[in-house]
Amino acid sequence: MNVFFLLTSLHLFAFSNLPPHIIHSDNDVLISASALRSHVDFLASDKLEGRMSGTEGERAAGDYIAKWFKDHGLKPAGPNGSYFQEFPITYGGEAGPECELTFTTSTAKKVTAEPNKDFNPVYGSVEKTPVEAEVVFVGEGRVSENRDDYEGLDVKGKIVMLFPAAPGDRFNNNSRSRIAKEKGAVGMIFAGPIEEDSYPLMRVTRTRSISRDAGLVAVAITANLFEKVSGLKYKEARKTAASGYVPRGFAKGLKAKIKVDIQQRKITARNVMAMLPGNDPKLKNQYIIIGAHYDHVGWGDIGALDAAEKIHNGADDNASGTSTVLELARVFAQTKDNRRTLVFQLYSGEELGLVGSFYFTKNPTIDLNAVHCMINLDMVGNLTDDKLELDGLATSTAWEDIVSQLTNGFKIAKNGGPRGDSDHYAFAAAGIPVLFFHTGLHERYHRATDDAPALNYEGMAKVGNLVAKYIRAVDKQEELLPFKKGEQVTKRKPPSKESPTGETTRRVRVGLIPDYTNNEPGVLLAGVSANSPAEKAGLKAGDRIVQWGTKKINSIEDLQEIFETAEPGKPVKVKIVRNGKEIEITITPEAIDLINTDSTKAA
Ligand SMILES: [Zn+2]
C-alpha cells in the first residue's frame, strides 16, 4: 500500500444527479443457472477437499480460475504478468527438532516415540522445557456436576493421559487442560485420533489446542502407542471412558519424559486476478474491482461449526461468489461495454482472516488511487424470497442513489457497514468505496452440508445479472466515487494519466502504511510494506514522520503533495520521531510501473 491512495482533500462533496438511463437495457448476454452450476460442481467437489488455503485443492481451484480468464481473453493482473499473486500464511504447525517423548514402563522398559509418526506436540503447550513424571490415566478428563473422571486419583505433579475431545464437544481440550491444571497435573498426553475414522494423530492446529494459560506440557499420541504403553485395547478403553468409568491402577509405574517444540508452518496461498481493459480513452486508467474469495475451510480445520472432521465443500461459501465472478468476467469479455478497466479478483486466505485481500491492498498491482470501487460477492447461492443483503453503503455517498434505482424485484436489506466478515472490508480499510452482495447466512453455513445440490442456481443467476447492472451503473459515473468514512466524505482525485513523452505514468513507491486513526501532527506509521524503500530505510510501525526533505509534515496530505512530484531514485532525508526521539533516516523512493492497459505488459 502506498501512501497516496487515500485522502486527497476533505471537502464535502455534493454528488451530481445520476444520468436518466441508468439501467442498461440492451443486454442479451446473460448469466445462466446452468453455467453457474457447472462452475460450482467443480469448485465444490470432494476432489478439491474444501479448498483450504495453500492446499492442493486450493491450487486446483486457482488453476481453474486462471484458465477461465485466459480462455476468455482476459489479461493477467497479478505481479510480473501473472494471473497469480502469491502470499505467505503462517498456519498451524509441526513437530520441531527438539520434540521428545520417551516412556519408561514399570519393568524399566524404554519406549521412544517418533515425532510426526507416533506423536505430535499440542498447540498451546509449554515449549522447550521438559517434564518427566508418572503417568495417570483419567479417561476423558471430564469434571461436571454429575461426573468426575479424576475421582480418587492423585495427579499432583504427574502427567495425565486422556482421550481428546471430538470437534464440537463443549468440554473441549481447552477445558480438559484447565481441569488438569486445577488438579495439579504438569503434563498431558492425548491418546488417539479426535474421532474414529479421522486422522490417526491430533493435528497441530489452533483448533486442537489446549489453553496456554494452563502452563502444561502436552503431546498427542497414536492409538497404537497408547496400546503399547498402557496394555489396554484402545477402542474398548475409549468406549469405557466415554461412559465415565476410569479404570483404577492403569499402567501403574508408567513414566514419561516429554519435551515440546512447535514450528509454525508457512504455506503459500494465491490470489487469482485478471483484467478487461476499458473502452473509454480517459476512464480506462481507472478500475472497478469485482472480487470474491475462493478458499474455504478444507477438512474443517478452522471455523467449522459442525462436529464432523469431514470435507467442507463450501458450495455457497464461496463457490457461489467465485462462479458468479467468473460468469461476470465472461459477460463483459463478450460485451466489452465497460468504460473503466474491470479487474476480476478471487482471493485466498479469506477464511483465515481476509489474508489475501489485505495482502493485495498492501501489495497492489494497480494504483489503488485509481480504483473507482470494489464489488464483493460472498455467499450468493441461497436466494430465498428474493431477499438480498447489500453491505458497505456507508462507504460512499453514491451508493444510495444507485441502489434505490436498481432493486429489480429484489427485497434489499441495506447495511451501512462495511462488515468485517468478507474481503470488501480490506478495500474499505484502504479508502476505497465498497459494495457487498450476500444472500444471507443459513443452517449449512460452515458445515459439511454446504454442498452443490443445495444451492438456488436460478437465484444466483438473478443476482449475477443484477451485479452486472450495478457494474454498468457505477461505470456510468463520471467522477471517481467519493469515499465516505463516518461523516467524512473524501472526494478522490484520479491519478494523472500520461507523462509528456506519452509513457505510462511512473510514480514513486515508498511503502508507507499510515495509521489513519491518529490525528497528531506528522504521519504515524502502522507499518511498512515488505521489500519497500521504507523497509529498506529501516522505518517501522510506530515511527512518526515529521519532515520530508525540507518540508515539515503535518498530515498525510503533505506527504501526498510531495509524492506527486517526487523523483524516483533520488535519496531524501526524512526526520522521524521514534520512542520520543527525533532521528534522521535516508529514503530512496522507487519508481512504480503501473499496469499499462494498452499493452499485454503487466507490472
Ligand atoms: Zn466462510
* Per-residue confidence (pLDDT) for residue 319, from 0 to 100: 98
In the predicted structure, residue 385 carries a pLDDT above the cut 50: yes
Distance 516 CA to ligand 1 centre (A): 28
Can you list the positions of beta strands (E) in 430-522? 434-438, 483-485, 488-490, 506-509, 512-514
Per-range mean pLDDT, top range of 59-63, 201-205, 302-306, 581-585? 59-63
Give the β-pairing of 544-548 and 523-528: antiparallel
CA atoms in the 13 A half-sphere facing the CB of 244: 7
Distance 478 CA to ligand 1 centre (A): 35
Query: And the C-alpha cell for 38?
Result: 457447472
Distance 411 CA to ligand 1 centre (A): 23
Collapsing DSSP to helix, strand or coil, 280 comes out as coil
Estimate to the nearest angstrom the gap between the alpha carbon of 576 and the chain centroid.
Answer: 32
Distance 296 CA to ligand 1 centre (A): 6
- Residue 264 corresponds to which amino acid? Q
Neighbours of 541 (CB within 10 A): 11
Can you list the positions of beta strands (E) in 465-511? 483-485, 488-490, 506-509
* Per-residue confidence (pLDDT) for residue 24, from 0 to 100: 42
- Residue 19 corresponds to which amino acid? P
CB 428 within 8 A of CB 418: yes
Distance 396 CA to ligand 1 centre (A): 26
* Per-residue confidence (pLDDT) for residue 308, from 0 to 100: 64
Distance 439 CA to ligand 1 centre (A): 13
- Among 242-256, 414-428, 459-473, 574-588, the least confident range: 242-256
pLDDT in tens, 153-167: 999 999 999 999 987
Distance 427 CA to ligand 1 centre (A): 18
Q: Is 226 exposed, middle or buried (0-12, 13-18, 19+ CB in 10 A)?
A: buried
Gyration radius of the chain's alpha carbons: 28
In the predicted structure, residue 401 carries a pLDDT above the cut 50: yes
CA atoms in the 13 A half-sphere facing the CB of 525: 26
Cβ neighbours for 229, distance < 8 A, ≥ 6 positions apart: 103, 105, 111, 135, 251, 254
Neighbours of 223 (CB within 10 A): 19
CB 306 within 8 A of CB 289: no
Neighbours of 491 (CB within 10 A): 18
pLDDT in tens, 349-371: 999 889 999 999 999 999 999 99
* Per-residue confidence (pLDDT) for residue 155, from 0 to 100: 95
Distance 593 CA to ligand 1 centre (A): 34
Helix or strand holding residue 112 (H, E)? strand 110-112
The length of the chain in residues reads 603
Distance CA 282, CA 259 (A): 64
Distance 316 CA to ligand 1 centre (A): 9
In the predicted structure, residue 190 carries a pLDDT above the cut 90: yes
Distance CA 315, CA 453 (A): 9
Whether this model's pTM surpasses 0.75: no
Q: H-type helices in 317-456, by residue range?
A: 321-335, 355-362, 399-405, 424-429
Distance CA 600, CA 592 (A): 17
Give the percent of the chain with pLDDT over 70.
89
Give the percent of the chain with pLDDT over 90.
67
Distance 379 CA to ligand 1 centre (A): 8
**Residues with beta carbon < 5 A to ion ligand 1?**
317
- Among 184-198, 243-257, 405-419, 477-491, the least confident range: 243-257
In the predicted structure, residue 22 carries a pLDDT above the cut 80: no
Beta bridge partners of 347: 293
pLDDT in tens, 515-538: 755 667 888 887 887 778 898 999
Distance 332 CA to ligand 1 centre (A): 27
Mean pLDDT of 426-453: 95
- Among 4-13, 118-127, 245-254, 524-533, the least confident range: 4-13
Distance 283 CA to ligand 1 centre (A): 34
